[in-house]
A and B are shown apart, each in its own frame.
Chain A
Amino acid sequence: MNVAVIKYNAGNIYSVVHALGRLGIQPVVTDNADIIRAADYVIFPGQGEASKTMEYLHLHALDKLICSLTQPVLGICIGMQLLCAHSEEGDTDCLGIFDVPVKKFHAPAHEFKIPHMGWDTLTKLKGGLFQDVKEAAFVYFIHSYYVAQCANTVAENDYILPFSAAIQKDNFYATQFHPEKSGSVGEKILRNFLQLST
């Protein structure tokens, strides 16, 4: 199984490499278009800021490449947000796979801290990515921006308001949380992803 992890200017890319390593898979971390196109599975991970990461993707022609991929693709955290239409972070136009905006959390009361950080639950689970994952399972989130509930939502969380913990459209899957840091539940989700077919 060939797994490519897209190399770009986001942090935390190697966490996902380690997580795959624990599943016995050695992915290739690359920005090489041919290798990415030929991979069975592509992971687009990371933590970072929307405008700076989009600028990098554009400069390295990774934006067009990602949009043209036909194998299962998994965006994680900023990777998910970059797959959307637009982000309020840096007022940035993103890749537009998902025709939904990324908005900033605004805390209505002091008990809500921003970023939304720590272990929180997954509900209303749908589709192969969450096969055998229990409702209300805990995963690790760390984000200040969110995607609202939409037609593509396949998992939800409620923090300040209900939002998309994961979205899916065709071969594109994306999680706001970090499966690579989410213990055994996260490992299950990564395993599920690596069993998806297009």
Chain B
Amino acid sequence: MSLAKRIIPCLDVKDGQTVKGTNFVNLRQAGDPVELGKKYSEENADELVFLDITASFEGRKTFTDVVRRVAAEVSIPFTVGGGLNELNDVERMLHAGADKVSINSAAIRRPELIDEIAQNFGSQVCIVAIDAKQEENGEWFCYLNGGRLRTEYKLLDWAKEAESRGAGEILFTSMNHDGVKKGFANKQLSELSSSLSIPIIASGGAGCMQDFCDTFKKGKSDAALAASVFHYGEISIPDLKKYLKEQGISVRI
């Protein structure tokens, strides 16, 4: 099987500018998400995720303009997320040219949103992002509002419900692993991947190139998402793909 494992840089965008640091110092506008997206695309990133972390209404409009420019200038698929609460929000992003949308808290608050997106635009556009945390008894619970509010949803139950409602992919972020840079939550990713028939995107924990290899082999992930290791130049995507290929993993080079 030659289907490539995907490497996905995630860009946080606030008021139309990327917020995290970047290694691309030679860019005229390092903070411009479109320039950064193009750069990652040229480095053979497989997809891009743009997360709107703006709070204000004006900022939201700016983000829509960013999405329009990305659609015009970047030739690989991209996902947008952040602040998408209703079908109208999703429609606005897709009309601006996004290939997929990622929904998180809004889907837990009102799971029918997944059905609505799938029925109106197809499952392929609907990524359900799940933030979950493992508690001391070993159980994983889903969280809302960027990890601030615990719910009674167990990870596997919610992931299965999302799939049955028409999610096209699951983007799972382990709150235990996120930011620690010691690898992805491979045990749980593997369980998700074996229990569901839709692709699983691993998120949270990337620290070195071996972490990516492990999540594809041990975690059975279909794709891996990371932010800071790419933005701060700790890992370059061409180096990462070369390494993964040497480890026997199918990647697009």
Considering the complex, give the chain B residue whose CB is closest to the CB of A141: B3
In the assembled complex, the Cα of A15 lies from the Cα of B76 at a distance in Å of 10
Residues of A within 8 A of B94 (CB): 11
Interface stretch of the complex, out of A27-35, A58-66, A114-122: A114-122
Residues of A within 8 A of B137 (CB): none
Asked whether any CB of chain A lies closer than 8 Å to the CB of B164, the reply is no
Can you list 5 pairs linking A and B with CB atoms under 8 Å apart?
A: A11-B121, A22-B73, A47-B122, A110-B194, A180-B75
Asked whether any CB of chain B lies closer than 8 Å to the CB of A142, the reply is yes
Asked whether any CB of chain B lies closer than 8 Å to the CB of A158, the reply is yes
Interface stretch of the complex, out of A68-76, A96-104, A146-154, A183-191: A183-191
In the assembled complex, the Cα of A182 lies from the Cα of B215 at a distance in Å of 25
Residues of A within 8 A of B223 (CB): 118
Are A187 and B75 CB-contacts (below 8 A) given A115-B124, A118-B199?
yes
Considering the complex, give the chain A residue whose CB is closest to the CB of B2: A121
Asked whether any CB of chain A lies closer than 8 Å to the CB of B198, the reply is yes
Contact with A along B45-86 (1 / 0, CB 8 A): 010000000000000000000000001110111000000000
Asked whether any CB of chain B lies closer than 8 Å to the CB of A19, the reply is yes
> CB distance B3 to A182 under 8 Å?
no
Considering the complex, give the chain B residue whose CB is closest to the CB of A160: B1
> CB distance B3 to A120 under 8 Å?
yes
In the assembled complex, the Cα of A147 lies from the Cα of B223 at a distance in Å of 26
Counting chain B CB atoms within 10 Å of each CB, the highest count among A119, A158, A183 belongs to A119
Residues of B within 8 A of A181 (CB): 75-77, 99
Considering the complex, give the chain A residue whose CB is closest to the CB of B95: A14
Residues of A within 8 A of B99 (CB): 12, 15, 181
Are A120 and B4 CB-contacts (below 8 A) given A115-B168, A183-B41?
yes
Asked whether any CB of chain A lies closer than 8 Å to the CB of B97, the reply is yes
Contact with A along B145-156 (1 / 0, CB 8 A): 000000000000
Asked whether any CB of chain A lies closer than 8 Å to the CB of B115, the reply is no
> CB distance B4 to A18 under 8 Å?
no
Residue among B1, B72, B76, B125 making CB contact with A159, cutoff 8 Å: B1
Chain B residues packing against A (C-beta within 8 Å): 1-4, 6, 41, 44, 46, 71-73, 75-77, 94, 97, 99, 121-125, 168-169, 194, 197-199, 220, 222-223, 252
Number of chain A residues whose Cβ lies closer than 8 Å to a Cβ of chain B = 38
In the assembled complex, how far is the CB of residue B42 from the closest CB belonging to chain A, in whole angstroms?
A: 9
Q: For chain A, what secondary structure do more than half of its interface residues adopt (helix, strand, loop), or is it mixed?
A: mixed
In the assembled complex, how far is the CB of residue A118 from the closest CB belonging to chain B, in whole angstroms?
A: 6
In the assembled complex, the Cα of A117 lies from the Cα of B99 at a distance in Å of 13
Residues of A within 8 A of B6 (CB): 118-119
Residues of A within 8 A of B77 (CB): 140, 181
List residues 122-151 of chain A with CB under 8 A from any CB of chain B: 136, 138, 140, 142
Considering the complex, give the chain B residue whose CB is closest to the CB of A158: B2
In the assembled complex, the Cα of A111 lies from the Cα of B122 at a distance in Å of 23
In the assembled complex, the Cα of A120 lies from the Cα of B94 at a distance in Å of 24
> CB distance B73 to A183 under 8 Å?
no
Residues of A within 8 A of B2 (CB): 120-121, 136, 157-158
Residues of B within 8 A of A186 (CB): 75
The 9 closest A-B pairs by CB, nearest first: A138-B252, A119-B4, A119-B252, A121-B2, A120-B3, A18-B72, A181-B77, A183-B75, A142-B124
In the assembled complex, how far is the CB of residue A163 from the closest CB belonging to chain B, in whole angstroms?
A: 13
Residues of B within 8 A of A110 (CB): 194, 197
In the assembled complex, how far is the CB of residue B90 from the closest CB belonging to chain A, in whole angstroms?
A: 12
Residues of A within 8 A of B97 (CB): 14-15, 18
In the assembled complex, the Cα of A167 lies from the Cα of B104 at a distance in Å of 39
Residues of B within 8 A of A169 (CB): none
In the assembled complex, the Cα of A177 lies from the Cα of B75 at a distance in Å of 14
Residues of A within 8 A of B73 (CB): 22
- Given A49-B122, A181-B76, A181-B99, 17 extra CB contacts under 8 A: A15-B71, A18-B71, A18-B97, A19-B75, A21-B72, A22-B72, A47-B122, A113-B199, A114-B197, A115-B123, A115-B168, A117-B169, A119-B4, A157-B2, A180-B75, A181-B75, A186-B75
